[in-house]
């Protein structure tokens, strides 16, 4: 059996997305692949931990929780160097190399992602002497890169996916030295634009291997179907599948999220809540939405209740859009 290590940083606000992500990883894996999920959190509730444990019914996996070890620093930086748009949990990524120093490498994923294919090719990638394998962030314009104190020609990357070379990192940096470098960088700027992402780009610049964009397919709900064919990992930046009244692009990646999310216990315990979100989001394609309602209804154990549910919500959708 091959064991793959995956790290996630989460709090209770992103539990729905994290559950869907884990389901997508498990469902797209081979029988000879095992997963060890390392979750860094300072505020995950026991209820939500139970929702994660319930996913072992799909496929068994190993799981360990960690608390951030530099939380006071992170709170200070969040207060002094951010706009408050993102939560302090984003800084927890910076603790990954030290919390997981027993590993050679680990795949970090943002929780607002979905895996659409097997990850074997990515895990077996030889990243040589690089600190990480990453994907260029094509949505960050050059003038923003300059504001962040990077060279005009620097290929700024998105930190939502990083295959981190833990062994190499700990050979280059001691924990105190690493955070001293960050402090010096923060003293040169007024505000972090993208929190941990700016910092990782500063620390890792010229020491990364760039991957194809299919491994971190950003702005997933703003893409046309013809653009998403090659995506291996969808990243729901800007718009997310559970936003109310957001009217996201109803592309294949929208339905991919729901395909995996409906297998989680948090969804099964709150079906009406999530159907209401689907209806509020709007969709001119009645056929696709009704197929989604059909898929959702199979989690209702009694046939009569299931049929009443399908009839009710299909009518609601039809009345709204016709």
Q: Per-residue pLDDT tens for 176-234?
A: 899 999 999 999 888 888 889 999 998 998 899 999 999 999 999 888 888 888 999 99
What single DSSP character describes residue 269? Answer: T
Sheet of 33-40: strand order equals 62-66, 33-40, 2-9, 105-109, 157-165, 132-136, 208-210
Nearest to 197 by CA among 249, 248, 232, 145: 145
Residue of higher predicted confidence among 114 and 140: 114
Buried b or exposed e, range 228-252, using 16+ CB within 10 angstroms: beebbbbbbbeebbbeeeeebbbbb
Is residue 117 pLDDT above 90, yes or no?
yes
The token duo for 10 is 């989460």
Considering only 206-210, 246-250, 274-278, which range has the smallest mean pLDDT?
246-250
Q: Name the percent of the chain lying above pLDDT 70.
A: 86
**What ranges in 164-212 are assigned the alpha helix state H?**
166-172, 175-186, 196-204
Q: What is the distance between the alpha carbons of residues 71 and 76, in angstroms, rounded to a whole number?
A: 9
Q: Given pLDDT bands bounded at 50, 70 and 90, which one contains residue 166?
A: very high
Q: What is the distance between the alpha carbons of residues 287 and 111, in angstroms, rounded to a whole number?
A: 29
Q: What is the distance between the alpha carbons of residues 180 and 186, in angstroms, rounded to a whole number?
A: 10
Q: What is the distance between the alpha carbons of residues 84 and 62, in angstroms, rounded to a whole number?
A: 34
The token duo for 255 is 């339905």
- Confidence at residue 321, expressed as pLDDT on a 0 to 100 scale: 46
Angle between helices 303-321 and 271-281 (to 10 degrees): 20
- Confidence at residue 120, expressed as pLDDT on a 0 to 100 scale: 96
Q: What is the distance between the alpha carbons of residues 148 and 201, in angstroms, rounded to a whole number?
A: 10
Helix (H, G, I), strand (E, B) or coil at 14: helix
**Contacts of residue 21, Cβ cutoff 8 Å, sequence gap at least 6:** 8, 109, 111, 112, 113, 114, 115, 260
Question: Roughly how many angstroms between the first and final C-alpha of the chain, as a whole number?
Answer: 52
């Amino acid at each position: 059996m091959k064991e793959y290590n995956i790290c996630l940083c989460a709090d209770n606000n992103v539990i729905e997305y994290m559950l869907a992500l884990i389901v997508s990883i498990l469902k797209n894996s081979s029988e000879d692949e095992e997963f060890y999920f390392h979750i860094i959190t300072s505020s995950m509730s026991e209820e939500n931990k139970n929702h994660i444990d319930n996913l072992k019914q799909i496929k068994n996996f190993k799981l360990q929780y960690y608390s951030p070890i530099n939380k006071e620093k992170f709170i200070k930086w969040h207060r002094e160097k951010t706009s408050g748009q993102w939560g302090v949990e984003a800084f927890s990524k910076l603790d990954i190399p030290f919390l997981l120093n027993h590993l050679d490498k680990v795949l970090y994923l943002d929780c607002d992602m979905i895996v659409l294919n097997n990850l074997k090719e990515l895990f077996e990638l030889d990243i040589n002497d690089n600190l990480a394998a990453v994907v260029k962030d094509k949505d960050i314009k050059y003038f923003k890169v300059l504001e962040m104190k990077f060279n005009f020609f620097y290929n700024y990357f998105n930190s939502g996916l990083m295959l981190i070379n833990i062994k190499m990192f700990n050979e280059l940096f001691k924990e105190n030295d690493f955070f001293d470098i960050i402090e010096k960088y923060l003293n040169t700027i007024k505000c972090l634009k993208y929190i941990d992402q700016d910092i990782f780009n500063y620390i890792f610049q010229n020491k990364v291997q760039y991957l194809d964009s299919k491994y971190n397919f950003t702005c997933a709900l703003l893409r046309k179907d013809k653009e998403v064919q090659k995506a291996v990992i969808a990243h729901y930046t800007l718009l997310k599948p559970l936003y109310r009244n957001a009217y996201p692009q109803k592309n294949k990646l929208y339905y991919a999220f729901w395909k995996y999310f409906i297998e989680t216990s948090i969804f099964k315990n709150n079906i009406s809540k999530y159907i209401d979100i689907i209806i509020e989001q709007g969709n001119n394609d009645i056929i696709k939405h009704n197929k989604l309602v059909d898929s959702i209804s199979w989690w209702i154990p009694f046939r009569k209740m299931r049929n009443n549910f399908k009839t009710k919500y299909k009518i609601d959708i039809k009345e709204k859009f016709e």
